[in-house]
Amino acid sequence: MLLGIGLLMVLSASITSRPSASDQIYLSRHLVFLALAVAGGVTAAAMPPTFWKRIAPLAFLVTFGLLAIVLIPGVGTEVNGARRWLRYGPASLQPSELAKVTLPLFLCWVIDRRRNKFGQIVVAAPPLIPIALTVFLVLQEPDLGTSVFLCLISMICLFIAEWPLWQFVLAGGFAVPFAAGMVALKPYQLERINGFLASWSAFDQAPYQIQQSLTTLGVGGGSGVGLGRGVQKLSFLPEANTDFVFAVIGEELGIIGTLGLIALWTAFFLLGLKLLTRVQRRTFASAAAITLLTQLVLQAAINACVVTALLPPKGIPHPLVSYGGSSLVMSVLAIGIIVSLSRDDSTFALPSVEEVDDTLNRQ
């Protein structure tokens, strides 16, 4: 249902103020992306659960290499001052979207290798290294929003994997001053934050995207103006078919449409958790699947919060709904991985009474 809504809204949100044959290009490309995404998701779901554990290190290394390559002038494609895409003819790839899947898988692989036979983590520092390296490369693009999202989902992954809590405090002590320094060094980022803070006190000083987004939602009211009849997307609302497609849904389908979309995501999350109840805790499969499930729902929530001015404006697409090949393919691939990992039946071998007594005596 989410994919169907995405297909419908990409078609509607791609209409311009002067409709022409070029408007159909977005639909045609989205259909191609959707076909690739479904094929990738079905293939991923058919894989045995152990496949993702074996491939996690290689997938992360490939992603890390692509993140480095995209920064090379002449190789990565620069758009609006940011170099985030690798393009070859009509095909394009955004490596940071790959990182949203491969980084959590790699973190779960690292932690799984450091569990003892009781399932407890004995060495916990190494996971910080891949997180820091990945975020550093994404910051160079620059892409602060994706960098923050990768940090957030990494911390959620470590929490689900039962990483020692005291190391969260230690990591936060280093991360918070670093993040504050990065924002302070970028005047345009400070300007965005100041504009966001002004959204609820002085609307005329709010960023243009927020002004148009809230206006678009307000026009829709309770039941909307009708599917395809929205006017804000006609050169007023920026990124109408990508980052702000949630606002287009609010205008054309009203609060009924937006709350309906939120209800679908809630059902998606609850059914995903129900699917994973059969997976043994403290395993690679459990940590990776729950992290990927949380990541998809969290990204949708962040996008909705940006559109409704609850968070500063950043380029975070709405998974499964926004136009964009890399995001759509990786989102459906993540669902396929979740389905695959839900069949995992690995369990920890319970130690004997003698082994427990021996361990307690040594402690």
**Helix ranges, 119-244 (H):** 128-139, 144-160, 165-185, 187-197, 208-220
> In 10 A of CB 55, how many CB atoms?
16
Q: Determine if the pTM surpasses 0.85.
A: yes
Classify residue 153 by its DSSP letter: H
Residue 283 or 123, more confident: 283
Q: Are 328 and 320 in contact (CB under 8 A)?
A: yes
Q: What is the pLDDT of residue 182?
A: 59
pLDDT band at 174 (very low <50, low <70, confident <90, very high): low
Using DSSP's 3-state secondary structure scheme, residue 92 falls into strand
Judged on CB neighbours under 10 Å (0-12, 13-18, 19+), 77 is middle
Would you kindly state where each structural domain of the chain is located, as residue ranges? 2-13+25-362
Q: Token pair of 301, please?
A: 């929530």
Residue type, position 257, single letter = G
Which residues does 150 contact at the CB level (< 8 Å), separation at least 6? 96, 99, 100, 103, 131, 134, 135, 138
pLDDT score recorded for residue 148: 86
Sequential DSSP letters for 233-282:
TTTTSTTTTTTTHHHHHHHHHHHHHHHHHHHHHHHHHHHHHHHGGGSPSS
| Residues contacting 273, CB < 8 A, separation 6+ | 290, 293
Average pLDDT, the chain: 84
Partners of residue 86 on adjacent β-strands: 76, 93
**Average pLDDT of the residues in 146-173:** 83
Given this model, what pLDDT does residue 349 score? Answer: 44
What's the distance, Cα to Cα, between the start and end of the chain in Å?
54
Residue 283: which region, alpha, beta or left (left: phi > 0; alpha: psi -120 to 50)? beta
Report how far Cα 75 is from the mean position of its chain's Cα atoms.
25
Closest C-alpha among 185, 234, 218 to residue 309 = 218
Alpha carbon 196 to its chain centroid, in Å, reads 22
Residue % of the chain over a pLDDT of 90: 46
| pLDDT tens column, 177-233 | 666 665 555 666 666 677 677 777 777 777 888 889 999 999 998 889 998 888 888
The more confidently predicted of residues 359 and 294 is 294
Residues 73-85 have a mean pLDDT of 80
Return the top range by mean pLDDT from 77-86, 193-202, 291-300.
Answer: 291-300
- pLDDT tens for each residue of 106-140: 999 988 887 766 556 665 556 788 888 999 899 88
Lowest mean pLDDT among 53-57, 307-311, 336-340: 307-311
Q: How far apart are CA 234 and CA 238, in angstroms?
A: 9
Q: Report the candidate in 296, 264, 239 with the shortest Cα–Cα distance to residue 104.
A: 296
pLDDT tier at 350 (50, 70, 90 boundaries)?
very low
pLDDT at 168: 73
Task: Assess whether pLDDT exceeds 50 at residue 268.
Answer: yes
The whole-number pLDDT of residue 140 equals: 86
Number of other CB atoms surrounding residue 138 within 10 Å:
25
Rounded to the nearest 5°, which phi and psi values hold at 4? -65, -40
C-alpha to C-alpha distance for 94 and 77, rounded to whole angstroms: 10
Q: Average the pLDDT over each of 2-16, 199-213, 300-314 and give the range with the smallest value.
A: 199-213
Lowest-confidence segment of 125-134, 147-156, 190-199, 335-344 by average pLDDT: 190-199
pLDDT at 356 over 70: no
Q: H or E stretch including 51? A: helix 49-69
Given this model, what pLDDT does residue 179 score?
Answer: 61
- Express each pLDDT in 12-69 by its tens digit: 888 766 666 666 778 888 999 999 999 999 999 999 999 999 999 999 999 999 999 9
Mean pLDDT of 327-338: 96
Q: Report d(CA 9, CA 85) in Å as an integer.
A: 24
| Top-confidence range, 77-91, 265-279, 301-315 | 265-279
